[in-house]
Amino acid sequence: MSLVGHATLPQAFFLPTDTGLRFCLFHPPQGDARRGCVLYLHPFAEELNGTRRVVAQQARALAQAGYGVLQIDLLGCGDSEGDFADATWQAWRQDARLAHRWLQEHARGPLWLWGLRAGALLATALASELADPCHLLLWQPTLSGQQQLQQFLRLHTASQWLGTGNANGPPPAYLLDKDQSVDIAGYTLTPALAQGLAAARLQPPQRLPGRLVWLELSAQAEPMLTPASVQQLALWRDAGWAVSALALTGPLFWQTVAHDEAPALLQATLDMLHGAGTQVKTP
């Protein structure tokens, strides 16, 4: 499946919820093929901004291949209403449910839940709730919310080293434990969001297993899946999921706001969703 083709403009709209409007983009399927529908769930905090370009390219490519793709900015993120301080993990899960409902009403075919980084945690949580079978497309999935939270809290330490943060105040983890919010890298993290995120786990839904496409990027010339990923994938296979996993060489674009390109990732995604790619590279 080639990435070359003419893409129509996505449809922008605001999805109503009980806590305000959520900005959404729907990429309608193009051509005669109707391969399915895809719900995209974005990563945490600033990683959202760093990934927009590559995600937009992939969404357009999927639409050209015959998938209807819905992107949603969660509560307090991107162009949606609310502040980041208003967000909770449960509110984000509810946003995912509402987005799924909208997509099922406006697109046909097998459902794919596409999660990037912490978005993979939301995707698997949603999959565990659905009555109908679905498939999962996970890009660089975060294995636990606690891991994501620790990485985010390290930004506070980095700002201290650079002389841009408060070097004399208590550490963020201490303040969160004392039920106080903390400001990190321009984001107000509340105890409620931190606790909900920390409790999230990347676990295979036990009912109605489908296909799992797992893709990782590495700066190495000969990339391999991490040992932690290999261990995780074994759990999914044991749970009955049909697993396709691959490590690719490419930019770690979620870590920066540079205009990175990841053509190998985009092409591998198309190939593996169509069943062409099944290679697993392990340590």
Cβ atoms of 191 and 153 within 8 Å: the answer is: no
Residue pLDDT, tens place only, 88-143: 999 999 999 999 999 999 999 999 999 999 999 999 999 999 998 999 999 999 99
The owner of tokens 């839904």 is 205
CB of 27 closer than 8 Å to CB of 62: yes
- The pTM score is 0.92
Q: Report, as an integer, the average pLDDT of 31-47.
A: 92
Whose structure tokens read 């998938």?
67
Confidence of residue 281 (pLDDT cuts 50, 70, 90): very low
Say yes or no to pLDDT of 148 above 60.
yes
Instruction: Check whether 54 has a pLDDT greater than 90.
Output: yes
The answer to whether 125 touches 89, Cβ cutoff 8 Å, is no
Range 33-62 average pLDDT: 95
CB 70 within 8 A of CB 13: no
Residue 4 clears pLDDT 90, i.e. is over it: no
Strand pairing category for 187-189 and 182-184: antiparallel
Answer whether residue 258 shows pLDDT above 90: no
| pLDDT reported for residue 278 | 42
pLDDT over 60 (residue 283):
no
